[in-house]
Structure 1
């Protein structure tokens, strides 16, 4: 599949070139103690995502396809009914759960998941239904990435957010076929931007290009599994998996090519280099991890419970099994800190609750929901 180039506007070109100016060497991580993780709920089967509803109920997706309820701090035995069928193979399954920003009024609940397609394949899909008292009714797909259908069973992406303007962002991985990430005639390796009902916004950067998919907002991604809105700008940021090294944090901008696999700080699993580290026309990450931590789940800290943490990016680590914290000054990463390294937990999701506490989901057949008690300082 050929790489395709689009002529950006002057403003976009300036932003893209600023991103291409070059990334510094990765920060030297520091291990920190003092952060206490207390189990809230245990007995979850490979939990993937956590959502807080305004009435106090919490919902947890399990990758195998169950949507679990936590009511008054207790895990209900019966999962939510009305959840779509998922392809729970390889890295596929039930992914993100997200209440609509006006959930208290419309009761709309979004799910992303691996959906069956083609002859034994799967792709990334997002849909919504009306949720009430353990029932998800009238669930309908809003978007199905038909062009990303494959039987590789990996790199689905699957994170979703809705920004303050009501736009829905969905990450889609390269599906294990890296050339997809540079081909805008399909959805693999991209971040999509939709209206909250699945329609394509007219101001998306590739609208009007007959050879491109109009849902695409940015491309050149490998497998983004963390997505969060910046507390000041409201823009989406993501973390994504590199291969052997080269995991990244990126600020997601319209029409920007983030380079995979043309540029990467990672290498082939068997050793050789893949591409260049830097090249004009491709955005540099704001931060990258080498060796890989396998980031998943991401949140910006805004709670006053964690003094000095506001604006910091927290990511779960699946490979190096810790909670990762990167401190930013604007767009510049200044410090990387690692917590809970002694627990050995694969951390799949990180969320800030309505009570201001941070919560983690551990990725295991006997997974848990953990509440974090802040350290005394820093």
Structure 2
């Protein structure tokens, strides 16, 4: 063998040995973003249905099926009227835990009505041919309705017990109402699948308090997921700085707008400009400056190697990346920016195949699969 051939063989062996060491140590290379489908005007959420297909909502009011090969179908019939202005429109969608047998989906949207609009959640059955929603019923409407096009919240999480968490923004112009218990502004609510207040909610039976409330003092929660620790995890937008990760507990007050690590747009304190107060919860983690978080998922699969299993993934609308968060001792230990420059990341979910999927919120939005 020539000297060149020997050197090349040695280099190849050294490279392979290094790769094996990295794998053994749990390191994972950044995944490649593969486009599954594109051409969505401002998509908001993705859910997974039979045959490797996807349900994708578009803020303008359309819900569409994406085939496993990436073909995008026409708008599904049966979506109720939505207020598609500003941040409002057709927003989150999830499949019921019993979807395989009942074909039930839950979705939330900005609902028009007397006094303005508010976040609402509906239940429906996806037809067998996947062309329409059947038996559509609005099971919950946020009270009161407000003339605003901002801060709808609108993420849905099903618990293992079959209850539903729904996040509700404070509608921007009514931030003080986030501290009041007689309304649904700036709240996380816990409901049955019929939309009734869930048994055991912290304010059931309390005079002057809405029985659906789970926690309060929130601003605009656009990320929510059920953690492997058996708890609800959320994140919410701060004003100018002060985006937060929280683990909402029953009956707890998360402070907005009394305490915040952000400030008014253009500068200046919000309220007294304080970051802590007795009786109000501190966030698990916060960002200054804001990353404008949206979408949230834990990775529970082994598809990307052991180093990523159990990590939390959050999209950044402002900076256009996917944030990989390592947790240790219940706290954020490390963050890594993935897919930088990919676009405004609106949603992130783990699919049935154990892979991560991302939606970019743009005029030509994309559904991306992260290939290991």
Q: TM-score, normalised by structure 1?
A: 0.87
Deviation string 1:51-81 (CA, Å, 9 cap, x unpaired) is 0014432100000000010123233341111
Alignment partners' CA distance in 1, 2:68 and 2:324? 30
Q: Hey, what's the Cα distance between the residues in 2 that align with 1:159 and 1:261?
A: 21
RMSD value, Cα: 1.4
1:258-337 aligned at under 5 Å gives the runs 258-274=254-270, 275-307=273-305, 308-337=307-336
Report if aligned partners of 1:160, 1:168 keep a CA contact under 8 Å in 2. Answer: yes
Matched, 1:123 2:122: no
2:22 is matched with which residue?
none
Partner Cα distance (2:199, 2:107) in 1: 24
Contact residue 37 and residue 72 of structure 2 kept, 8 A:
no
2:153 to 151, 157, 168: 157
Residue in structure 2 matched with residue 17 of structure 1 by the alignment: none
Q: Check whether the contact 2:40–2:363 (CA below 8 A) recurs between aligned residues.
A: yes
Write the distance in 1 (CA, Å) between the matches of 2:76 and 2:341: 34
**Larger CA Rg, structure 1 vs 2:** 2
- Quick check: 1:33–1:340 contact (8 Å CA) kept in 2? no
CA distance in 1, matches of 2:97, 2:358: 22
SS at match of 1:95: strand
Which residue of the other structure, out of 130, 138, 141, is the alignment partner of 2:138? 141
Please state whether the residue corresponding to 1:74 is helix, strand or coil.
coil
1:199 aligns with 2:196: yes
Question: Mind listing any 5+ residue stretches in structure 2 that lack a counterpart?
Answer: 1-27
Point out 4+ residue stretches in structure 1 off by more than 6 angstroms.
none
Which residue does 2:78 correspond to in 1?
Answer: 82
How much does 1:202 deviate? Answer: 2.8
How many angstroms does 1:33 deviate by? Answer: 7.8
- Does the 8 Å CA contact 2:359/2:366 hold for their aligned counterparts? yes
Higher relative contact order (CA 8 A, sep 6+): 1
Q: State how many pairs are aligned.
A: 339
**Would the aligned equivalents of 1:162 and 1:196 in 2 still touch at CA under 8 Å?**
no
What secondary structure, in the 3-state scheme, does the structure 2 residue paired with 1:316 have? Answer: strand
Residue 72 of structure 1 corresponds to: 68
Which of 15, 29, 32 is equivalent to 1:36?
32
Q: Using the TM superposition, give the Cα deviation of residue 196 of structure 1 relative to its aligned residue in structure 2, in angstroms.
A: 1.4
Which digits, 9 at most, give the CA deviation of each residue in 1:329-358, with x for residues without a partner? 142111111112233x00000011111111
Match of 1:109 in 2: 105
